[in-house]
A and B are shown apart, each in its own frame.
Chain A
């Protein structure tokens, strides 16, 4: 019998197989459970391949998307708000890959290891976005159907309070000719985070920062502009003949001659370093969504291309969200708060925002002063009533006989409204006049709130 007893122990091998397998399963569950539960095969939260659970609201609880009753997903009640939030929320079919419906799928299913996807109300979870629907509709109205985007953030917390991309459509009644109609070309792209445009003069903020930190007597110098300068046999032109200019004046009138010469003096290497440090060329992660990469090609030292690249032309491109982040960093004393789209609640609210220092506070202060001077001297404070505005415009030549892209980027320091912004109107014309008025409309709406 002792022999039999010893042999019987072999049964424990099977028990070991069973329990080992169960442990492996639990380990995999801990690692992949969120992916499994948020998979489209989960019928508790998906119907016909569409998310059918959870809800999205703006920062004040206004419903942007509601799929809580499982069968039917509804978007915001107001049609204008639906159009204004299309790219932030996503569409019915998941064609907008950066929409919250796609990116925050697992948050909307409400999964966590302990409770799974179920709460008392059933499957799914409510997710609040940082957006403010009032600003959304204001930006939508201000763009007035023109192609482009508006993106506004709180530069202390990093919360994106407004993000509108155009062209757009009503997700409840998507037009049937999206694919064929030229008016809807690129309607699935959220231009604020997934596009990179030629920046034009807004890039001069990076060139100016490099000059402040690398050219000791920059504020003592006087620059001469006769409407153009010949570099390597090619002329870098200005919008006019600016005459004698200080450094501050040169940024305010956006003098290409001055900044092309400064670029040559600084060198391609230095400019590329600043573009990189300011986050203009790399991707940024906004709560799981990667922004588009910008571009700054290092032209040969002494070449006209280097001059053009220093004024935001040549091969330069910047994603509007990256530009916003730079404007916010300047406003925030050189520290860029990570941009975010999901509203923090509860204890998370008390945590300080994740930040990255992109420039010294001294440089940020000097850039701020110059941006304020820009408004005073060139853009006209009367065009922005009530705003303590700091800004830089851009009028990016795109060639092909088309109107230039209009850029306007900056921030305001009004009490209780620490907002940074970037506006792009494609082929809109002059930056300050066109994009500036869109920015003004959105910021006025923010102040009115």
Chain B
């Protein structure tokens, strides 16, 4: 950059640069908003795309489709197979398919009992059923018609061939434009002492993004919106790091690649529900061990003992425990009805929150607690029980341990940052708000802010720094991008195969959204300042990698046809079968 302009006097060069920065400031929000809006529309616009995995035939000849891998039969209105027979229990039985395509019937503790081919079921124990088997629920008799082989729905999605809304490639072009402009701005801001790291890291980000897209297409998947949103947030994160700590750019880029690798690995792992279910306990155990090791050997950095040094690397185990927590906390439907499982999870969650409280990592403890509430509620459906018996006790205990001086101080100065401008109660927040206001809607340009001089500007105060350098529009767009993850996770529940994926996606999204709320609203004095990170944007390795890991759970809930690499869909065989099925239908 500087070489290119070397023929010009430095004054003329500065003049040209100032115009380039000015122009970019005002056009940068356009590709940002376009990217996020296109992703949001693409992810949320389509109605529920249903997969049919099997049927239940009634004596009168009508067929009831099984639209999930886990289906509840009962009298209740919200049963998946709802039949208004007074003799049925509200939740009478469950018909559940495993990853290998084997179906089982479970008696959910019904009054009338359930039989398969005349043999009574023991509550809590599944019985394998095959096509043509008779399921007898007392007064109601059903013939089970099973689906196809592994990963193949019995009937294709009504919406036809793979399509994932707006063309993701076009969206990616907008995002690339955003990243390029941001990179140019960051280079200009550092033009006096430009290091190779600044252009190289932006180039690497763009390259990695397109490679990921090419790989996705090469395995026949078309959905890339979730990744696109994450790459959008990562671009902002790179701009922040380039501004505040350019020497850390190489490392940050490496962390980004590590995060993407984890994302791919975890996404691939989640394809197989049985394997995933088997690994729940080990994953939970690893998480707990990490926390305990952290508690015993951890270093106290900036008031919280949540750092662990191994070799030359320091990392925050609590970030990775989030993944283990979601992994272990999510459950398939057959386990949902066993109280023992929920109790164990409550104990596990309590241990995690307590460990974090002992580390004085108040923000993370709160994030875990909220994730726990979401998982427990989705699993049990009983808000009163969850909140009162468990939440109350756990939180009271947590507060007793955690409410030490500095946390109490943060609560006491909450909402009064401007009265504590030069004390710890408001020093960072007032700087963040002042800098954010100074940025206006369009920002000062990447690298041109001053908030980076303040401690934790690129982590806890990163919302303020984003507002200052990139403007309010892009900052709010970034917040919206994370909100899109959550709305998508909720929407995915209607077409999900297993409740494991729904719970996993919702828990991950909750962690991201709640953490974001603490970050944004804490630094702007709307919530107490707890010092957690802005997902994907804040500088830091552990946080970035863990966010990509959590994203895999959301990707695994994307059941839109042919969209997600984290969902098994042997494409060729499926297409052939679909053709056969269509031909058959046409002939009949």
Contacts and interface: CB of A to CB of B under 8 A. Distances in A.
Interface in A18-47: 18-19, 21-22, 24-26, 28-29, 32-34, 36-37, 39, 41-45
B490 A14 contact: no
A111 interface: yes
Contacts of A8: 378, 489-490, 493, 502, 506
Interface in B448-465: 448-450, 453
Interface in B182-205: none
B18 A6 contact: no
Nearest to B454: A43
Interface in B216-251: none
A116 B378 contact: no
A25 B440 contact: no
A25 B381 contact: no
A17 to B, nearest CB: 5
Given A8-B502, A118-B438, A25 B520 contact: yes
B514 interface: yes
A448 interface: no
Contact of A15 (B21, B471, B486, B494): B486
B290 interface: no
Contacts of B466: none
A117 B439 CA distance: 7
Contact of A44 (B68, B438, B514, B526): B438
Nearest to B475: A22
Contacts of B482: 18
Nearest to B450: A43
A195 B97 CA distance: 89
A14 B513 contact: yes
B438 A2 contact: no
Interface in A335-374: none
B521 A15 contact: no
Contacts of B442: 114-116
Contacts of B72: 1-3
Of the candidates A25, A45, A109, the one having the most CB atoms from chain B within 10 angstroms of its own CB is A25
Contact of A21 (B377, B506, B527): B527
16 contacts: A1-B68, A1-B70, A2-B80, A3-B78, A4-B378, A5-B502, A8-B506, A12-B490, A18-B514, A19-B483, A22-B479, A42-B434, A42-B435, A44-B444, A120-B21, A120-B22
Interface in B508-544: 509-510, 513-514, 516-517, 520-521, 524, 526-527
B25 to A, nearest CB: 8
B134 interface: no
Contacts of B438: 36-37, 42, 44-45, 109, 111, 116-118, 123
B513 A1 contact: no
B357 to A, nearest CB: 21
A118 B447 CA distance: 13
Interface in B468-516: 468, 471-472, 476, 479, 482-483, 486-487, 489-490, 493-494, 496, 499, 502-503, 506, 509-510, 513-514, 516
A294 B261 CA distance: 76
A2 B79 contact: yes
B521 A21 contact: yes
Interface in B348-381: 370, 374, 377-378, 381
Contacts of B440: 111-118
Contacts of A34: 437
B431 interface: yes
A195 B416 CA distance: 36
A10 interface: yes
Nearest to B18: A120
Main secondary structure, interface of A, reads: helix
Interface string B411-431: 000000010010000000011
A11 interface: yes
B513 A37 contact: no
B431 A10 contact: no
B421 A114 contact: no
Main secondary structure, interface of B, reads: helix
Contacts of B483: 15, 18-19
A111 B434 CA distance: 11
Contacts of A115: 440-442
A115 B472 CA distance: 10
A117 B526 CA distance: 23
Contact of A11 (B444, B472, B509): B509
B171 interface: no
Contacts of B435: 42-44
Contacts of A415: none
Of the candidates A22, A24, A43, A121, the one having the most CB atoms from chain B within 10 angstroms of its own CB is A22
Contacts of B499: 1, 4
A1 B493 contact: yes
A182 interface: no
Given A114-B442, A115-B440, A116-B444, 19 more contacts: A1-B70, A1-B71, A2-B78, A4-B499, A11-B374, A11-B486, A11-B489, A11-B509, A12-B487, A15-B513, A21-B521, A26-B476, A29-B472, A37-B434, A39-B418, A39-B430, A42-B435, A118-B439, A120-B19
A7 interface: yes
B377 A7 contact: yes
A69 to B, nearest CB: 13
B433 interface: yes
Nearest to B483: A15
Interface string A46-71: 00000000000000000000000000
Nearest to A23: B476
A234 B483 CA distance: 84
B496 A1 contact: yes
B443 interface: yes
A4 B493 contact: yes
A21 B520 contact: yes
B370 A113 contact: no
A263 B472 CA distance: 63
A18 B444 CA distance: 25
Nearest to A29: B437
B333 interface: yes
Contacts of A44: 435, 438, 444, 449-450
B215 to A, nearest CB: 30
A118 B448 contact: yes
Contacts of B509: 11
Nearest to A10: B377
Contact of B431 (A15, A28, A41): A41
Contacts of B18: 120-121
Contact of B80 (A1, A17, A114, A123): A1
Nearest to A117: B438
B436 interface: yes
Contacts of A10: 374, 377-378
Contact of B486 (A6, A14, A25, A116): A14
Interface in A116-140: 116-118, 120-121, 123
A1 B483 CA distance: 23
Contact of A4 (B25, B67, B502, B527): B502
Contacts of B433: 36
A6 B78 contact: yes
A37 B79 CA distance: 56
B494 A14 contact: no
A67 to B, nearest CB: 15
B513 A11 contact: yes
Nearest to B378: A7
Contacts of B468: 116
B554 to A, nearest CB: 11
A41 B70 CA distance: 57
A14 B443 contact: no
Contacts of B430: 36, 39, 41
Of the candidates B72, B421, B438, B468, the one having the most CB atoms from chain A within 10 angstroms of its own CB is B438
Contacts of A19: 479, 483
A114 B79 contact: no
A247 B430 CA distance: 64
B514 A14 contact: yes
Contacts of B520: 18, 21-22, 25
